[in-house]
Chain A
Amino acid sequence: EAQVTQNPRYLITVTGKKLTVTCSQNMNHEYMSWYRQDPGLGLRQIYYSMNVEVTDKGDVPEGYKVSRKEKRNFPLILESPSPNQTSLYFCASTPVWPQKNTEAFFGQGTRLTVV
């Protein structure tokens, strides 16, 4: 079954304690992306990756890091989490041209609370 798997689903942590949210896809997609969802703001892109070892900032990258050492994995790293990073996070993967019927496949979401 084609899927994007995020872990953990829920996480409560304290300010400053490094954490990693994992994301893995089994569809051999080149493009992967992280979004955060906040009330009244919709989903906003944090970082994206167009292939292995190719990553770039999205619209709200401050306080986050990513890596893409393998095609299937795209972890999101918060080196020193702060309360303003409390949010719902989604990983997504997308097939690139020349594949038709482009759509983004989303993970189940990670609810992060930083206290």
Chain B
Amino acid sequence: AQTVTQSQPEMSVQEAETVTLSCTYDTSENNYYLFWYKQPPSRQMILVIRQEAYKQQNATENRFSVNFQKAAKSFSLKISDSQLGDTAMYFCAFMKHVTPSNFGNEKLTFGTGTRLTIIP
């Protein structure tokens, strides 16, 4: 079974600064996906960024980037030039890569979340 750990329940940072959210995971799978989801006060789950484990290059999406360390099973999210709209709960999540040879539950395993507050 997979586990995902987010060790920072809450963080805060000044607007325009850079912040890094930590995530570690444990799995015996070799092929999988990692995700960061944002949950603003509206409660909607919004995909921020996705990383495929077989890709060594770290994913980036505008101000959001990840530091994916497969051997260390670490997947941190960096938010640059933070904005007030980045205030939200952030969840790290794991999904194994399902193919016909290992067809099964495509569930997401979530961490417990990090509540991020951007201070004006």
> Which residues of chain B have a CB within 8 Å of any CB of chain A?
4, 9, 33, 35, 43-45, 47, 50, 91, 93, 95, 97-100, 103-108, 110-113
Contacts and interface: CB of A to CB of B under 8 A. Distances in A.
A104 B106 CA distance: 9
A101 B43 CA distance: 24
Contacts of A53: none
Interface residues of A, number: 28
Given A40-B112, A43-B91, A103-B50, A108 B107 contact: no
B50 A96 contact: no
Nearest to B105: A48
9 contacts: A42-B113, A45-B107, A56-B105, A58-B105, A58-B107, A94-B106, A97-B100, A102-B97, A108-B44
A92 B105 contact: no
Contacts of A108: 43-44
Interface string A40-76: 1111110010100000101100000000000000000
Nearest to A57: B105
Interface of A: 31, 33, 35, 40-45, 48, 50, 56, 58-59, 88, 90, 92, 94, 96-97, 101-104, 106, 108-109, 111
B35 A96 contact: no
A60 B99 CA distance: 25
Given A42-B112, A59-B107, A102-B106, 14 more contacts: A40-B112, A42-B113, A43-B93, A43-B108, A45-B105, A45-B107, A97-B99, A97-B100, A101-B50, A102-B95, A102-B97, A103-B47, A104-B95, A106-B45
B108 A104 contact: yes
B107 A33 contact: yes
